[in-house]
Every structure is written in structure tokens, then in C-alpha cells.
Chains A and B, each alone.
Chain A
Amino acid sequence: MNQNLSTVSQRSTSAIATNKVLRNTYMLLSLTLLFSGLTAAISMFMNMPPMTYLISVIGGMVIAMFVLPRFANSPAGIGIVFLITGLLGFGLGPILTMYASLPNGGNIITLSLAGTGAIFMGLSVYVLTTRKDFSFLGGFLMVGFLLVLLAALANIFLQIPAMSLMISAVVIMIMSGFILYDTSRIIHGGETNYVLATIGLYMTIFNIFISLLQILGIMGNDD
């Protein structure tokens, strides 16, 4: 009897901890998305040159890969997450300025934003309601992501528009898989650090948004 009570107690403690990680992740994710929006607006207002995007993305990725893991368990980790997301948002400024200057640019940006939100919320609700374990996707998604990076590298030299369209479409599918994988990891206790969980989900949202912009930008100017 005592052993049963102890097991129930351990399970409920674990569930509370998981819910706390999930709540903190979504709260930090909301704040970082708002902060990115602010830095993107500042970058647009300052009329930053296109190379800002490249510098910001490389800077943000380097900090996320090499600096953040060292501070993920300390309060400084939250500051670093804001630094990364602010930098990535700032890099978005020139891209948004470029799309806004297209004939239906406003429509493309609005649809990309709405589409990204719908994909993220739809997939999150799907995982949270079904509570399925998507840990089996890990290796598949990483291989897919690595192949996309190789294709993107090849396309820098080949410059084939159809290939960049294909890469963007595959990136959206892989990032959608990462949303399922990351959210599933949080609810099943595989990810207990909300700082790392936030940056993982933020990167998927950022990549989906950029890829949707590219797809809608190319297809929207087809005629």
C-alpha cells in the first residue's frame, strides 16, 4: 500500500515538473518571439543592409551551439536566449524590408506569419492531446536536416531556383517533425531544461517562417 502511494506520489511529482517545464518553455518562447519582432522592427526602421541577415544568423547559431549549452542551467542562459533571438530577429529586418517592397509583399509576410503560427499551434496541440512519443524521429530528422544543409551548400554554387524552392519545402517538413519531437520530449520528461527547449522550438519557428516567406515569395511572383 505504502509502495503504491509512493509510486503515485512520484508520478504526480514528475507530471508537475513536466508541466512546469512546458509552461516555462511556452512563456519564454512567447517573450522571445515578441522580442524578435521588436528587433526586426528596429532593423527595418534602421534600413539595415542585406548582409545583416547572414551575419546575424551565423552569430546567432554560433552562440546557440557553443555558448548557450554552457550557461543553460544558470540564469545567464535566459539572457543568452534573448541575445540569440534578438540577433535573429534583427537579421530578419532586411529580409522583411525586401519582401515588403514586392507588389503583394504585405500579403506574403502576413500569410507567412499566420501560416507559421498555425503550423506551430496545430502540431503542438496534436502532440499535447495525443501525448504520443516521437522520440523515434530523432535520427531521421537529424539526417534529413544534414542532407538539407548539404543541398543548400550545393545550391550556393548551382543557383537553381527550383532547388531552393524544394529545400524550403523540405525544411518546413523537417522543422514540423522537430516540433513534434521537441514537444514530445518535453511532455515525456526527455527535456527538463526550459532554456534549451525554448531555443529548439524558436529555431523551428524561425526556419518555418523564413522557408514559408521564400515559397510564397517565389510562387506569389510567378505571374
Chain B
Amino acid sequence: MDWMQIISALALVMFIVVLFPATRHMMKNSPKGTSSDWMSFVIPIVVIVLFILLLVKLV
């Protein structure tokens, strides 16, 4: 294991530690979405997945 991997791992641990309280806060305070809200999120994500598959075909 070289020093770049060790630094990457330490940086990731630091980001996880820093982001954890904000994540917990957002989980508690985010409004709940309805099934129609979730569909309006899922549909564009599916389109993006298909678009990435198209890009993979093109490369």
C-alpha cells in the first residue's frame, strides 16, 4: 500500500466524520416525499442510466 492510498483513505475518513452530523440532521428534518414525488425523481434517473448506456455504446 503506497502513501497515496493511505492519504486517500485518511481523507475519506475525514469527509465521512465531517458529513455524518449533517447527514443525521438532514435525515431528521427533511420533509417526507409522496409516491408521486419519488416518481418525479426516479424517472429522470432512469433516463440518465439509459443515456450513460448510450454513451458506453458510443465509446
A–B pairs, 11, beta carbons within 8 Å: A54-B4, A61-B15, A111-B59, A123-B44, A132-B37, A138-B30, A139-B29, A142-B22, A173-B49, A176-B45, A220-B56
Partner pick for A115 among B23, B40, B52, CB 8 A cutoff: B52
**Residue with the highest number of chain B CB atoms closer than 10 Å, among A123, A143, A150, A153:** A153
Of residues 25 through 52 on chain B, the ones whose CB sits less than 8 Å from some CB of chain A are: 26-33, 37, 40-41, 44-45, 47-49, 51-52
Q: Give A132 to B23 CA distance when docked, in angstroms.
A: 23
- For the complex, is A4 an interface residue (Cβ under 8 Å from B)? no
Q: Give A177 to B20 CA distance when docked, in angstroms.
A: 19
Of residues 47 through 61 on chain A, the ones whose CB sits less than 8 Å from some CB of chain B are: 50-51, 54, 57-58, 61
Q: Give A42 to B19 CA distance when docked, in angstroms.
A: 32
Interface size on A, residues (CB 8 A): 47
Whole-angstrom distance from the CB of A119 to the nearest CB of chain B?
6
Answer whether A134 and B41 are a contact pair too, CB < 8 Å, given A119-B51, A143-B27, A172-B52: yes
Question: What's the count of A-B pairs with C-beta under 8 Å?
Answer: 111
Main secondary structure of the interface of A (DSSP, over half): helix
Interface size on B, residues (CB 8 A): 38
Closest 6 A/B residue pairs (Cβ): A136-B33, A139-B27, A139-B30, A220-B59, A142-B23, A138-B30
Whole-angstrom distance from the CB of B36 to the nearest CB of chain A?
10
